[in-house]
Amino acid sequence: MDPFDTADLQARDSAHFLHPFTDTKALSGHGARIIVRGDGIFIWDSQGHRLLDAMSGLWCVAIGYGQRRLADAAHRQMLELPFYNSFFKTAVVPAIDLATRLSRLAPPGFNRVFFTNSGSEGNDTVIRMVRRYWDLQGQPGRKVILSRINGYHGSTMGGASLSGMDYMHAQGGLPIPDIGHIGQPYWYGSDRAESPADFGLRAARWLEDRILAVGPERVAAFIAEPVQGAGGVIIPPETYWPEVQRIVDRYGILLVSDEVICGFGRLGQWFGCQHYGTRPDLITFAKAVTSGYIPLGGVLVGDRVANALVEQGGEFEHGFTYSGHPTACAVALANLDIMEEQDLPRHVREDVGPYLKAGFESLVDHPLVGHAEALGLVAGLALVADPVSGRPFDPALSVGLLCRDICFRNGLVMRAVGDRMIIAPPLVITRPQIDELIGLVRRCLDETHAELRVHGWLAD
């Protein structure tokens, strides 16, 4: 019995719906998995299979599925005032309330917010603001924004340009001018000749090297995620961020913290920069600000940039029809109510974060795992052919995708980035649920190992 008629849905899906980042022809061959319902940390597909969603949708659903208060907030707001814009000297109440609330939750020195609909639009806004800031400083030559290889900042022309994925740049003539990329602080992916601490310092100094190569008078900003998410949960060594802060301070360039994933408790603080003690000038946010229940993103603008834009800038020629959308802002406020009532950043920092770390990092004893690490509620492990030497699999074998499919079959959503398996479960997850999650991961690793052995892809 299939109340959803999955075959029909799959046929219409492949005929009409172009999915993001998807090979449509390949997908049509086997049909998409249709997700129909969610509750807490679980989702269900159209054939009744339950999955533990260890990716929070796509890093979004911090408070879990099925929270009625967000639906009620949207319902109330839509009946009251579903939409009005904030152009032409007008404003709407939920946008004012949300901007006020975010200014209170943000680190000191952040008192203004620009709203967008997504993280990509947030980072496009960052590009506009950064360049406008330097124009207003009388330094229009400062245009270059530095970013990192394998960082992810979205998929608009600006966001994709900042992103350090060459396969994205290859389609569409990107990056746009005056964007540069430096290496990422991925110690396990290096030759591991240095300690993580030494490597972290060296990786930070790639920024200084590039600033000097470009010419400090031409560099406007450095943008990075506190922990790289879509790049495979790359947690930098503890030495990395303090050294980056020293470098941006030394050359006076703006620091942009892309917290579309790390914001709103993911690393155990309201913002990821607070975990590392950095002092960014701009913070991009999206995803968990509404727990993904409705699209909303934006930029928290620190006083240094805000004062220039507001006091000297005149009209800022940028904005979106839906900047400060009342329904989206109302949903965000209900989401933040729940986060604050449950003090989710603290729940992550003091309770489930350390618990997940202990469980997840114990997976390093598995014969497929070369390295496993966690921080707050993000975690990643590297599947390798030989855990002693760290020798990777041939990428052509797509071992990560094989493992991901096995996870799906076993009722677990875990994402593969190359041969890194990553998770970012809802922040409301409990300790018993983490036990269940780690047990599932271990079972899926065992099955992957067994399958690789059958294929003859293991050395022993």
Ligand X SMILES: *Cc1c(COP(=O)(O)O)cnc(C)c1O
Task: Please state, in angstroms and as integers, the Cα–Cα distance from residue 413 to each residue in 28, 42, 45, 172, 441, following that order.
Answer: 21, 10, 12, 31, 10
CB 425 within 8 A of CB 378: no
> Judged by CB under 6 A, does residue 302 bind ligand X?
no
> Judged by CB under 6 A, does residue 152 bind ligand X?
yes
Q: How far is CA 323 from the centre of its chain?
A: 21
Q: Which region among 117-125, 235-243, 302-310, 334-342 touches ligand X (by CB under 6 A)?
A: 117-125
Neighbours of 65 (CB within 10 A): 21
Closer residue to ligand X, CB minimum distance, 124 or 208: 124
Strand order in the sheet with 144-148: 110-116, 297-302, 282-285, 254-258, 219-224, 144-148, 179-182
Using CA atoms, how far apart are residues 293 and 287, in angstroms rounded to an integer?
9
Closer residue to ligand X, CB minimum distance, 225 or 243: 225
Q: Which region among 187-195, 233-241, 257-265, 409-417 touches ligand X (by CB under 6 A)?
A: 257-265
Tell me the residue number closest to ligand X, measured at CB: 119
> Judged by CB under 6 A, does residue 448 bind ligand X?
no
> Judged by CB under 6 A, does residue 260 bind ligand X?
yes
Task: Please state, in angstroms and as integers, the Cα–Cα distance from residue 97 to each residue in 326, 333, 435, 453, following that order.
Answer: 10, 8, 39, 57
Q: Which region among 31-39, 129-137, 148-156, 419-427 touches ligand X (by CB under 6 A)?
A: 148-156
Smallest separation, CB 228 to ligand X (Å): 8
The residues in 166-225 that bind ligand X, with binding defined as CB under 6 A, are 225
* Rounded (10°) CA dihedral 431, 232, 300, 140: 170
> Judged by CB under 6 A, does residue 440 bind ligand X?
no
Among 10, 118, 125, 274, indicate the residue that binds ligand X (CB under 6 A): 118
Task: Please state, in angstroms and as integers, the Cα–Cα distance from residue 209 to each residue in 52, 183, 251, 281, 323, following that order.
Answer: 44, 11, 12, 22, 38
Among 120, 150, 239, 327, indicate the residue that binds ligand X (CB under 6 A): 120
Neighbours of 456 (CB within 10 A): 6
Q: Which region among 91-99, 233-241, 254-262, 420-428 touches ligand X (by CB under 6 A)?
A: 254-262
Number of residues that bind ligand X (CB under 6 A): 17
Smallest separation, CB 274 to ligand X (Å): 16
Q: Of 23, 39, 30, 25, which Cα lies nearest the Cα of 6?
A: 30
> Judged by CB under 6 A, does residue 229 bind ligand X?
yes
Smallest separation, CB 153 to ligand X (Å): 5
Closer residue to ligand X, CB minimum distance, 260 or 402: 260
Q: Of 304, 299, 270, 303, which Cα lies nearest the Cα of 286?
A: 299
Smallest separation, CB 46 to ligand X (Å): 25
Q: Which region among 95-103, 116-124, 298-306, 311-319 touches ligand X (by CB under 6 A)?
A: 116-124
The residues in 277-296 that bind ligand X, with binding defined as CB under 6 A, are 286
What letter represents residue 215's amino acid? G
Smallest separation, CB 176 to ligand X (Å): 16
> Judged by CB under 6 A, does residue 147 bind ligand X?
no
> Judged by CB under 6 A, does residue 124 bind ligand X?
no
Among 153, 266, 275, 415, indicate the residue that binds ligand X (CB under 6 A): 153
Residues that bind ligand X (CB under 6 A): 59, 118-120, 123, 152-154, 159, 225, 229-230, 258, 260-261, 286, 297
